[in-house]
């Protein structure tokens, strides 16, 4: 069930980003989580691979 919850959250964040005419400003290169803020470590996977989105 955790996998489906994670996928659902990701889809919901992506949907909101497109419907608000905003794109995620940052992305974790390890788990590909879209982020609105620059984190030192990804809040999802904990890796230090958060970079500006292309």
Q: What is the pLDDT of residues 12-34, one digit of tens each?
A: 777 666 666 566 789 999 999 98
Residue with tokens 């909101």: 16
Give the pLDDT confidence score for residue 18 in this predicted structure: 67
List the chain domain ranges.
2-52
Q: What's the token pair of residue 36? A: 């609105």
DSSP letter at 25 equals S
4, 31 Cβ separation under 8 angstroms: no
- For the chain, the maximum distance between any two Cα atoms, rounded to a whole number of angstroms, is 31
Q: Given strand 34-35, what is the order of strands in its sheet?
A: 34-35, 26-28, 50-52
Give the pLDDT confidence score for residue 22 in this predicted structure: 62
Confidence bin at 36 (pLDDT 50/70/90): confident
């Amino acid at each position: 069930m955790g996998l489906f919850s994670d996928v659902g959250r990701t889809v919901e964040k992506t949907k909101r980003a497109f419907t608000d005419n905003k794109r995620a400003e940052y992305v974790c290169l390890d788990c590909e989580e879209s982020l609105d803020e620059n984190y030192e470590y990804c809040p999802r996977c904990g890796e230090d691979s958060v970079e500006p989105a292309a």
